[in-house]
Amino acid sequence: MAGILVVDDDAGMREFLEIMLSRDGYEVKCAGDGKKALGLCGKQKFDLVITDLKMPKVDGIDFLKGVKEISPETMVILITAYASGETAVAAMKEGAYDYIEKDFDVEDLKDTIRDALNKKGIKEKEALFIRGVEDDERFGDLIGKSKEMLKVYSLIKKVADTTASIIIMGESGTGKEIVARAIHENSPRKNMPFVALNCGGIPDNLLESELFGYMKGSFTGAYSDKAGLFESARGGTVFLDEIADLPSILQVKLLRVIQEKTFRRIGGAEDIRVDVRFISATNRNLEQKVEDGSFREDLYYRLNVIPVNIPPLRNRREDIPLLTKYFIDKYSREFKKEINKISSYAMELLVEYRFPGNVRELENIIERCVALETSNIVLPENLIMSAKGRPEWNTVFDMNIPEKGIDLSEEMEKVESLLIQKALESANGSKAKAARLLNVTRDSLNYRIEKLGV
């Protein structure tokens, strides 16, 4: 049975809430002001506190701070007759779960209470889960304990001991090079070089010399012999990122290296034999590039002996709190700050965000937050997140339907997602108020938010 503390200087409101909550099976205690309520919180732990904003002796915000100091896990709902955006921000900064206006709908309040208590259960499990990054929550520099990442860890363990070529596929920012390094560091080659090259980051005319090296005098500026990456990686691993951008002429030469384990420097006359393991990565559809003729089919099959697919961050949202804590700790040390936590509302915003830039984007967001933050907690106002991938309202309705047609279900989901975002903005983040604006129940809104990843 959940314990709820009702705090209000209005005796009529206290009595009303006590009767309503008791009928619903909650264990209820009441206090007429914040000072008495804090005394009760010091003697007994409550799962939820419902408090008026304007009270004598200790107002709602100060009382909220006091509750969170005594019992950080207690959920707090503020009731106010003077709702404003500033009030909402101040409340969320201090860890309030939600705030509602005094002319609330009873069913809305009940929905909010149920949702807050459910969230409390999740937060308690989450708190145990992210108390430091334990060994079973990471693999090398990879962090995550979702079932998707556990599959990746398992596959890395299976393929690390082999000499087979591996191709890592995933969106930009998912950590493909980190996966490649994890494979190398868990292989028999771990004490040998790991050499990485971004095939899309070097001009075509320089890429060949970077890979194969060159002999003195082979071209203008070649004043001495130079070993390429293949030679530098002898006995170790060569990681070729953005392999889809490899020029056609170098695709032929790379195929020869993989097949015959030999190559020649530019301007060289002798074959050089090397023992290296090839790991490549791409965020593109290589099969499609094979079909359109821009990537050699024989090279594709040589590289794609063992495929490793890295899930985007939006498909493993349960890893976001763990990654966030890791990045907060990392940049707090780097910037010599004592930031050790993130507000519950800021975390909720992160978990609900789509992260088009994946883990790299999350790291950048947290790095910026820690750099800008002046308190010891990451607050929502310092979260700067891109609107990329979210169509503007007019764009949705003014769009032209192409000849090939559209996916109606997908486009309708975009419209629904946008409407929910607009409602939440209008309601200053209050889900109860947003549900009223949309004429849906709180449960229905929560379901849609989770389904659409709003």
Q: Has residue 417 got a pLDDT over 90?
A: no
> Edge-to-edge strands of the sheet including 277-282?
194-198, 237-241, 277-282, 166-169, 306-309
Q: What is the pLDDT of residue 251?
A: 94
d(CA 432, CA 111): 8
If one compares 298 and 223, the residue with the highest pLDDT of the two is 298
Distance from chain centroid for Cα 183: 23
Helices (H), ranges, 130-203: 147-160, 176-185
Q: Compute the half-sphere exposure of residue 120: CA atoms within 13 Å on the CB side of its CA.
A: 23
Please give the pLDDT value at position 250.
93
The Cα–Cα gap between 35 and 15 comes to 19
Residue 132's pLDDT is what?
Answer: 43
Would you state the pLDDT for residue 393?
44
State residue 135's pLDDT score.
55
Please give the residue that has the higher pLDDT: either 368 or 101. Answer: 368
| pLDDT, mean of residues 363-372 | 92
User: What pLDDT is stored for residue 177 in this prediction?
Assistant: 94
- The segment with the largest mean pLDDT, out of 116-125, 140-149, 393-402, 429-438, is 140-149
Closest CA to 418 of 446, 385, 390: 390
pLDDT tens figures, 238-288:
999 999 999 999 999 999 999 999 998 988 888 999 899 999 999 999 999
Asked whether the beta carbons of 207 and 199 are under 8 A apart, the reply is: yes
Measured torsion, CA atoms of residues 65, 66, 67, 68, in degrees rounded to the nearest 10: 50
pLDDT score, position 125: 46
Q: Which domains does the chain have, with CATH numbers?
A: 3-129 (3.40.50.2300), 147-309 (3.40.50.300), 317-382 (1.10.8.60), 393-452 (1.10.10.60)
* Range with lowest mean pLDDT among 309-323, 391-405, 415-429: 391-405
pLDDT (0 to 100) of residue 124: 55
Partners of 197 in the β-ladder: 240
Looking at every residue in the chain, the average pLDDT score rounds to: 84
Separation of alpha carbons 275 and 230, rounded Å: 9
Mean pLDDT of 107-117: 84
Going by the DSSP 8-state scheme, the letter that residue 376 receives in this structure is: S
The predicted pLDDT at position 54 comes to 79
Q: Cα(319)–Cα(340) distance, rounded to whole angstroms?
A: 18
Please report the pLDDT score of residue 29 as a whole number: 92
In contact, 228 and 209? CB cutoff 8 Å:
yes
Share of the chain above pLDDT 70, in %: 89
Per DSSP, the residues of 203-247 read: -HHHHHHHHHEE-TTSSTT--S-EE-HHHHTTTSEEEEETGGG--
Residue 304 — pLDDT band, cuts 50, 70, 90? very high
Q: Which span out of 45-54, 56-65, 363-372, 402-411 was modeled with the highest average pLDDT?
A: 363-372
Token code pair at residue 205? 């005319």
Average pLDDT over residues 21-29: 87
Residue pair 244/198 in contact by the 8 Å Cβ criterion: no
Whether the pLDDT of residue 384 is over 60: the answer is yes
**What is the pLDDT averaged over residues 323-349?**
89
| 454 pLDDT higher than 90 | no
